[in-house]
Amino acid sequence: MELSFQTVMSQVMLGLNNGAFYAILSLGLAVIFGLLNIVNFAHGALYMLGAYVALLGFTSLGPLIGMPDFHLNYWAALIVAPLVVGAVGIVIEKTMLSRLYKFDHLYGLLLTFGLALIIQGVFTNFFNVSGDPYEAKPEILNGAVNLGFMMFPKYRLWVIVISLAVCFGTWYVIERTKLGSYLRAGTENPELVKAFGVNVPLMITLTYGYGVALAAFAGVLAAPIYSVSPVMGSEMIITVFAVVVIGGMGSIMGSIVTGLLLGMVEGFTKVVYAPASSTVIFLIMVVVLLVKPAGLFGRES
């Protein structure tokens, strides 16, 4: 395939679309790592959980509550799924993670990895691993728009726009508002912030809840285009971790920008040499770790 301007631009757009997912997932990881020092391996499973909340809300919730005609529509799912999964996250933080802060990173990593395996195993037991169809895509997002160089599905455009909005909104809150400064201070020196009368444990709990709610949000966004399957998260999470490492663990802006960029690099690789598309990100990771071990946007300590 020759690399015309049109081809390159279409691939860049598609890459941006995948990059939007990477960005929103790696952002959640960065927030959690930055403020809690937890490497949240359950992120992929919670992303999957978000997609399933949307799916089951649409297909099974109505019959379950005795109203067979009730379907949780897509827009509602975008709000409900993050809330439900966020609540699950809060329970996980309160009952398990909060006991591990005094130990090494490794313990949090092992715990969340175990949780991911359990959640994924339970879902594999009950659902079709090849995926289930989610048919609640709203009418208004059907069809395609002409971008000049390609016909781009409206839904994917929507994913790019809303993801960017959520990402930069999160960045703004953490880096530019008073609430954000509490959060950052709370992780820097919890004792001192407590002395000012701020409820640090609650803040940390809510941060974890928000981080995993972001994962669930991405899950709902993914439901209409990718298959909703128990393994959707485990396939995604490894790439996303590579993105976080390249961007610099814990760097909010780093994770967003790196996510988008790597999505595009990956998209471009798919045209140039497709078999390498699943490895190109890891190749970049190796190079970055050699040249700049703290990541592109990370601060050397």
Q: What are phi and psi of 76, to 5 degrees?
A: -65, -40
Parallel, antiparallel, or unpaired: how do β-strands 151-153 and 144-146 relate? antiparallel
Residue 18 is a binding residue for other proteins (CB under 8 A): yes
Stretch that binds other proteins, among 24-32, 33-41, 125-133, 185-193 (CB under 8 A): 125-133
Please say whether the beta carbons of 27 and 47 come within 8 A.
no
Nearest distance from C-beta of residue 208 to other proteins, angstroms: 26
Site mask, other proteins, residues 90-109, x = CB under 8 A? --------------------
- Alpha-carbon Rg for the chain, nearest whole angstrom, is 20
From the list 3-11, 167-175, 192-200, 284-292, the region that binds other proteins by CB under 8 A is 3-11
Interaction residues for other proteins, span 143-172 (CB under 8 A): 144, 150-151, 153, 155-156
Beta bridge partners of 253: none
Backbone angles phi, psi at 228, to 5 degrees: -80, 105
User: What is the closest distance, in whole angstroms, from the C-beta atom of residue 33 to other proteins in the complex?
Assistant: 24
Task: Tell me the C-alpha to C-alpha distance, in Å, between residue 88 and each of 181, 206, 287, 290.
Answer: 26, 11, 37, 38
Q: How far is the CB of 10 from other proteins (least distance, A)?
A: 6
155 vs 241 by CB, closer to other proteins: 155
The answer to whether 274 contacts other proteins (rule: CB under 8 A) is yes
Contact 203, 183 (CB under 8 A): yes
Partners of residue 153 on adjacent β-strands: 144
Q: From 163-171, 177-185, 225-233, 290-298, give the range in contact with other proteins by CB under 8 A.
A: 225-233
Q: Confirm or reject binding of residue 76 to other proteins (CB under 8 A).
A: no
Q: For 274-292, give one letter per residue: b (16+ CB within 10 A) or e.
A: eeebeebbeebbeebeeee
Stretch that binds other proteins, among 93-101, 203-211, 226-234, 283-291 (CB under 8 A): 226-234
Residue type, 207: T
Which residues would be at the binding site for other proteins (CB under 8 A)?
1, 7, 10-11, 14-15, 17-18, 121, 124, 128-133, 135, 144, 150-151, 153, 155-156, 225-227, 229, 231-232, 235-236, 267, 270-271, 274-275, 277-279
